[in-house]
Every structure is written in C-alpha cells, then in structure tokens.
Amino acid sequence: MSNTIKLTAAALILCLGTAASAQVTLGAMDFDGKDSEWTDRSGGTPYTCMGLNGTGSSIDGDIWWNSFPGETGRYRIYLQAILETDGNSPYKIFVGGTLVASSSYPFYGGGDKDCGATAYEESDLDCGVKEISQGDEIRMWAQSVYPCGSDHGQYARFTGIRFEPTTDEVTPNPGDEQVVTGDEVYYPDAIGEKIVVEIESCPIPHSDWHLETEYAGYSGDGYYVWRGPQSFGSPPGADKQLTYKIYICEAGQYWFKYRNHLIHDNHEENNDYFVSIDDYSFRKTMSHIKNQWSWYTIFDPCWCSGDFNLDEGEHTVKIQPRSSDFCIDKFIVYKAWSEQGFDTNESDPDHAVTPTANTCDGSVIAHKSAAVRYKPRARAAVEAAYTIDGRRLDKNMIAGAAVKALPAGVVVVRYTDGSVSRMVNGKVVKR
C-alpha cells in the first residue's frame, strides 16, 4: 500500500512539472555545430560573441548545441543578444526540434533605427518558459539585415542562451495558441497573380480590435483598428492575431501590402502592425502616408514589400498589433514584379476582393449546403437581390443588417444608393 502511495505522489509531481534547480548557460562560442554563415564576431565590440558573416546582403543560418546539460525541468529561456542601432535581426529558438520562440532583435536602447550611430548593448530577450529535457538539442536560427545599406548592418550577435529555473506557466509555442481565423480560403483572381482580402473578413479575435467606419473611402463593411496597448518589442500573442487563409496557384515570390489610413500628425507614429505569412518571422510593417487611404506599405528591416517565397497551396497571413490607432481596410498578396502589382504610392486602385470557394483554373466550387450566409451592408438599404439566372429573390431574405441565408451560387444584391454587391456562395467578390 505504501508503495502505491509513493508512486502516485511521484507521478503527481511529474505531471505538475518542477522547476529545475540550477541555471544553465550555453555559451555562444561553445556551440557543437553551425552553418558556415556563423562566425566569431567579437571584433570591435566589448563582447565575446558569435554572429553572422558580414556579406553586404542578408544571409541566415543555424547554430546548435547537441545536448542540453541541465537537469530535466522547467526553465525561462533568455537569448543574450547584442542590440545595435542599425538593424533588428529576426531569430528563432528550437528545443528538441520544436520551435519555441520567433521574434526580432529590438533596436539598441529600445529606440528606432539610427543609421548614423554605432553602439552595442547586451540585452536578455525573453524567449518564454519551456519544459526542457536533459539531452535535448538547443538550436538557434537568425538572419543578418542591412536596413542602412550594404556597408553596415546587424548580424544577430549573441553571447549565449541562458536557462533560468522557474515555476511560471509554460508559454505556448508559436503556432500553438488559440487562433481565430476567417473560415474562407481566398484564391487569386482570374489572372492568377493577386489575392485581395477584406481585413474585416477575419472575426475580431480580441476586444481591443475594433471595426470602425469613421474615415470614408474604405471598402466592405469598414476597417479594423487596434485600440489596445502598443507592443513595440515583439508581437503580443496569437490571441490578438488577425488570421487569413489564402491559396497560391503559382509558386514564386509574393509581396504584401495593406490599404491603410494613418492619422497621427507624425508619419512615424501609430503607423504599423506586425505581419507574417506562414512561418516567416513577424516584421514591423509600416506606412508613412498621413490622413488618407493608401497602399503604401514597407517592411522593416528589408525596407521592401515583404519577400515571401510561397509554394502552390494554402498559406496563412497573420497580422498582430504593434502601434495602436492604425486603420487597415484590406490587404493584397501579389506576385512580385507582376504587371498588375504596383510599387509606388498610387492612390487607390480598385482591387476587388478575390473569390473564395474557387479553384486555380477559375471555376467555382458549389458549396455543399443549399444556403450560405451574408451580412448586408449597414449603410444602405437593399433594393433588390437576384440570382445569376435573373431569378428575383424575396427581399425579406436579405433586408436588414443581420446575417441572412442566401442560395449558394452567384447572387447579385442592388442597394438603394446604386451600389451593387456580387457574391459567390455568400462572399462578396465585387462591390
């Protein structure tokens, strides 16, 4: 009997997880293996550190320690990063092959980019709490960046990774958290190279995201604004994430822009969110055009339109808060250098929202259910609704701003202000 009790108690302790008893530091110079991109970058700094080679253009690689030497238990992981003024390298940490942290180095002193200064500061980047087993492989990936031109950049220097015993709650791994996603998958338009999605097609995942309509000129039902706290250091979590499913028909490099409205007097404030596609690191994604709707969108640190290499298939677009009060109406993902792309501060091409329930050859997949749901626009009354074969629908099927059931297939809704919504299986494809 007493044996049973002992066993039960031991099992209970194992289940609850225990803090390990001793801190462990894996020194950057004590790695077991690395890609050739990593090198001793202590020179010119007050630190003994590894970093990526200076090549004048962005490179990335892995560096790893084969076997975690500490006892099995719960630790908070700190990347001992060297911050600089001229770049904010993306990094990822893996424990036993599982991605446990993904973010970017902040700038030196918690400020913004300063291309004219040279300064170094060691800073502990909190990579969250994990259960780590003795013998687990610890791996780091990072990327060098050159936002100030090819002659100087940031090389993800670090002095080590520190593991401090803790009893804090384990942090969810990136991608493990509860995510609210729009249930539709958006396909490219008929030409196959761009996908346009209304921001408000993702259900609001957190009470600090708001659907608003104050600034005229938006499309769809309005735009989203983050009214919560600013989160400059890193994305604040998947529970605050706007998430969209898109389908790429032609593999290649894709760019991202969101149609945005920046209302702060200073064009460098309240002007950005974090954006990622799939497993790409979240990057600060900003506008500099004030007091009007524009597609002006710049990714930091590349100062580009986002360089996402996407295979054919389904992909996930993710937006998380960074600054507050920045309005976003819809986004476009389009083939880099495609003719229908645009790379200037153009005013506002009418990029109609692309279809869902489509295929790469443009044919429409009929929904299995006989009815689909549609929420009529709130700001104009419905005048009439038709199916594509001209059959007029009972206006009561659609009048009022509540969600209504409509027949599957193509439906056209005409409003009293003269505007028209065309829908495929309940999703607006053009207004």
**Smallest gap, in angstroms, from Cβ of residue 332 to Ca ion?**
12
**Smallest gap, in angstroms, from Cβ of residue 254 to Ca ion?**
21
φ, ψ of residue 398 to 5 degrees: the values are: -130, -20
- Piece of the chain touching Ca ion by CB under 5 A; list 69-77, 192-200, 201-209, 391-399: 192-200
**Smallest gap, in angstroms, from Cβ of residue 113 to Ca ion?**
11
Contacts to Ca ion from residues 366-425, by CB under 5 A: none
Residues 329, 332, 376, 424: which binds Ca ion (CB under 5 A)? 329
Q: Which two tokens stand for residue 424?
A: 């495929």
User: Which residue's CB is nearer to Ca ion, number 154 or number 270?
Assistant: 154
Beta bridge partners of 98: 95
CA–CA separation, 169 and 417 (whole Å):
54
- Piece of the chain touching Ca ion by CB under 5 A; list 19-27, 161-169, 216-224, 264-272: 216-224
User: Which residue's CB is nearer to Ca ion, number 187 or number 224?
Assistant: 224
**Smallest gap, in angstroms, from Cβ of residue 154 to Ca ion?**
5
**Smallest gap, in angstroms, from Cβ of residue 373 to Ca ion?**
18
Under rule CB under 5 A, residue 321 binds Ca ion: no
Residue least distant from Ca ion (Cβ): 220
Residue with tokens 């419905």: 382
Residue window 247-266: x/- pattern of binding to Ca ion, with contact defined by CB under 5 A? --------------------
- Piece of the chain touching Ca ion by CB under 5 A; list 128-136, 176-184, 211-219, 268-276: 211-219
User: Which residue's CB is nearer to Ca ion, number 152 or number 375?
Assistant: 152
Contacts to Ca ion from residues 133-152, by CB under 5 A: 152
User: Which residue's CB is nearer to Ca ion, number 152 or number 290?
Assistant: 152
User: Which residue's CB is nearer to Ca ion, number 153 or number 235?
Assistant: 153
Residues 70, 74, 77, 86: which binds Ca ion (CB under 5 A)? 86
Under rule CB under 5 A, residue 198 binds Ca ion: yes
**Smallest gap, in angstroms, from Cβ of residue 198 to Ca ion?**
4
Contacts to Ca ion from residues 150-169, by CB under 5 A: 152
CA distances from 63 to 92, 162, 350, 409 (A): 11, 15, 46, 53
Under rule CB under 5 A, residue 84 binds Ca ion: yes
Q: How many residues bind Ca ion (CB under 5 A)?
A: 8
**Smallest gap, in angstroms, from Cβ of residue 112 to Ca ion?**
15
- Piece of the chain touching Ca ion by CB under 5 A; list 126-134, 220-228, 402-410, 412-420: 220-228
Q: Residues interacting with Ca ion, by CB under 5 A?
A: 84, 86, 152, 198, 218, 220, 329-330
